[in-house]
Each structure stands twice: as C-alpha cells, then as structure tokens.
A and B are shown apart, each in its own frame.
Chain A
C-alpha cells in the first residue's frame, strides 16, 4: 500500500488487548490521515468497541501503542486527548442537566476559550437550539442523539471515533448525519467508524477493514462494489 508520507492523524501499532485468558485483539495496526474515514466491520463480540475505546484512550492496550499526530497516547499526558472525539452508544449526558448545561460543562472540561459561544454554536449546528434548556431526561430519542453529537463535536476534534452511530436513526436523520460526517471529512478530520454492517457509511468511507478473531481479516482502500464486499465479508466471518 503506498500512502502519502505525511504523519497520520491517528495511528496504532500492534494493539493487543486481553481480558484474563481471553485475547480480544491480537495485533491491530492502522493509520488514518486527514480527510480519510476508516470503516471497520466485524461480527458482534469481535472487539470493535474495545478497539474504539483503546483508540479513544479510555482503555489501555495490553501491548502496542496509539499515536495522535505521531505523539503517543499515554495515561500521564492528557494533552493529546484533546484531538479525540467519541460518539458512543452512550450519550455521556447528565439527565438532570439541560443540553446547554451539559455542553457548557464539557466546554469547561476542555478549557474552551468561550464556553457560552461554543455551546450555542454546537447546539445550532445540530438544530437543538429550541430545546437547549429542556432537561435531557425529557428529550426524545432523536433529540438525545443530536445532543450527543453536539457534545462529541463541541471541542472540534481532529479525530472522530464513531461506535455504531446509525443505530436508532430514521432515514432523514441518517441523511443529515451523513451530511455532517461528510462536512467533517471536508474539514480535514480523520474518522473511524465501527459497525456490524457498513452499508450506511459505505459511500463516505475511504478505507474499510474487517475485524475477526482479533486480527484484520481484510484491510485496505474501499472497493467500489458493496455487494461484492458483503460476499467477501460473509465468507471471512462465517466461512
């Protein structure tokens, strides 16, 4: 594979993660550059969420390392974490606070220069301004997802990690979300998305990988033909 020589925004080498005697990841390498999106597919329990948690710095790999712009992610230096945004299936929101209170708290955690303005802009971007002062526990599921997106993007992370982000979105919402991801790619961000099926993000992905048995069963530039990929995927995972 010949890639441009610039330092990848996000890279990982030799990631291994064991839970007791069980090895979930057995040596994963990856590089994601500005404007690229790596879509990772794999069956349930293949370790996709574990991989994402390690890339986000929430979990330490048993072996191997993660680098952000060439700088190693360690537990001692919190600074490189600033570049990471994670959209997980949890919203990370406090139910008793309003979206704007939640976002202001996040903005202060990241020490953004103007928490108020950042909060207003982020809520505006996902179309949640009208409900900015409703406690999160009273928001509908769709609005919750928007609030979670606003929270994940609030600090303008260069690297965006997405865990099954299309779950629970209806067709129009999924379209809006795809547009948002596309604009993130245009802005030179690096995206990693994990999902058990890649159809929803296929067009956006620049690279695809299949995680099975703790290894990349397949990895490289995205092929054009989704159907052929599905055939190959079924073969790798079930065959």
Chain B
C-alpha cells in the first residue's frame, strides 16, 4: 500500500468523523430551536425552518468563497490537490444552496403567501447555485486533468468577482422597485434565544461543511490514485 493511498484513506476517515460530528451538532441545534427558542409571534412555528435555511445559505456562501480563494492558490501553485479541494467545495456548495433554495420557498409560502421573491439573499444564493452548476458542468466536459483544473480555477475566480456585482444589481433593482414585502426574513430585533440558535446553527453547518468537503476531497484523492494506477497498466 503506497503512502499516497494511506494518506487519502486517512483524509476520508477524518472526513467521516467530522461529518458525523457536524450532523450531531446540526441535530442538537435543531432540537434546541424546536424546544427552547420562542415561537415567532407573527410567523408561528413556520419560522423554525429559518434555523436550517439561514445556516445553509451561510454554508453555500462559505463554499463559494473557498472555491474562489483556492482557485487563486491553484493558478499560483499549480498543485492538483488544490483543484480537487476546490471541486469538492463546489459540490458541497451545490447541496447547501439547494437546501437554501428549497427551504426558502417553503417558508416564504407560509409567511409571505408567495413561493418566490427576488429578495437580495435568495437571489444571490440562486446565482451561487447557477455558478456552481456551471463550474461543475465545465469540469464534467473537460477530459484533460490539467486543462480541467485551469479552466475551473478561472471560472471560480471570475465567479468570486461576479458576486458583488450581482449583489449591487439586485440592490439597485430593489431600491427602484419597492416590493410589497410584509416581513423581512430576519426581524431587526431578534430575541437573544433566536440569535443564539441561529449562531449555533451556523457553527454546526460550518462544521458540517468542513466534514463534507474533507470527505469528498479524500474520495477525490482515492479516485485519482485509482485512475493513475489504471493508466500505468
């Protein structure tokens, strides 16, 4: 057994442990949210979905920033492991943004009476989702490993620059088209119990993100070693 293989297996094991811890933490936070945080006066129990919705959005944003920053490092150092790490982060990011995009309308329908609204955060996450899809679709369409890594790093960095422009566009668009929003997704004055639940939810999802990415990265390393072994035959 080669040292690379051992290292990859160790990463996978570490990822499994971290994922498990993240899942436990998320479950704990949710129990806390259901049992101990007060029921929001106007939104009722539907507001509880917020404790998944907002941390998932946070996870997607972290995943996206990691893709962009690791892409910069890749173009600088040209280390294939950085490319695999960025790709792993994008895959996890697509899952998180999907969670955010599905819980958003469920919450929105009960609270606002509409499935979708072009709220700045919802819109931004939708674009993160599109960018993740483009990034991964491009990866799937390029065969050569080096080329795949360079191209996806370029898209990752361009995406990082695009996000502020998207945000600015939505902001300008909304200030010009005031929307009949009855309730803001997060009330300006949040009871301390809610805030605490939200923050621990974000911590739990950050841990979950790390667990998923490490696990996915370890598996990508194993995949690569298997491919390398196949080529050598």
Residues of chain A having any CB pair with chain B under 8 Å: 19-22
Contact = CB atoms under 8 A, between A and B. Distances in A.
Interface residues on B, range: 10 to 19
Nearest to B80: A20
Interface in B55-112: 80
B144 A19 contact: yes
Interface stretch (B157-165, B206-214, B220-228): B220-228
Nearest to A59: B146
A21 B224 CA distance: 7
A19 B149 CA distance: 11
B233 to A, nearest CB: 11
B84 to A, nearest CB: 10
A57 to B, nearest CB: 16
A19 B228 CA distance: 9
Contacts of A20: 80, 145-146, 224, 227-228
Interface of B: 4, 80, 144-146, 224-225, 227-229, 231-232
Nearest to A17: B146
A22 B80 CA distance: 12
Nearest to A22: B231
Contacts of B229: 21
Contacts of B146: 19-20
Given A19-B145, A21-B227, 7 more contacts: A19-B146, A20-B80, A20-B145, A20-B228, A21-B225, A21-B228, A22-B232
Nearest to A45: B231
A25 to B, nearest CB: 14
Contacts of B80: 20
B222 to A, nearest CB: 11
Among A19, A20, A22, the most chain B Cβ lie within 10 Å of the Cβ of A20
The 3 A-B residue pairs with the shortest CB-CB distance, nearest first, are: A21-B228, A20-B145, A22-B231
A50 to B, nearest CB: 11
Contacts of B227: 20-21
A186 B34 CA distance: 87
A101 to B, nearest CB: 30
A19 B144 CA distance: 8
A20 B143 CA distance: 12
Contacts of A21: 4, 224-225, 227-229, 231
B88 to A, nearest CB: 16
A22 B230 CA distance: 10
A224 B146 CA distance: 41
Nearest to B226: A21
A227 to B, nearest CB: 33
Nearest to B229: A21
Contacts of A19: 144-146
Contacts of B232: 22
Contacts of B228: 20-22
Contacts of A22: 228, 231-232
A22 B231 CA distance: 7
A15 to B, nearest CB: 16
A165 B3 CA distance: 43
A58 B229 CA distance: 27
B210 to A, nearest CB: 25
A47 to B, nearest CB: 13
B197 to A, nearest CB: 45
Nearest to A24: B231
Nearest to B231: A22
12 contacts: A19-B144, A19-B146, A20-B145, A20-B146, A20-B224, A21-B4, A21-B225, A21-B227, A21-B229, A21-B231, A22-B228, A22-B231
A16 to B, nearest CB: 13
Contacts of B225: 21
A235 B150 CA distance: 40
A21 B8 CA distance: 13
A8 to B, nearest CB: 28
A116 to B, nearest CB: 38
Nearest to B84: A20
B5 to A, nearest CB: 11
A20 B227 CA distance: 9
B164 to A, nearest CB: 30
Contacts of B145: 19-20
A19 B78 CA distance: 12
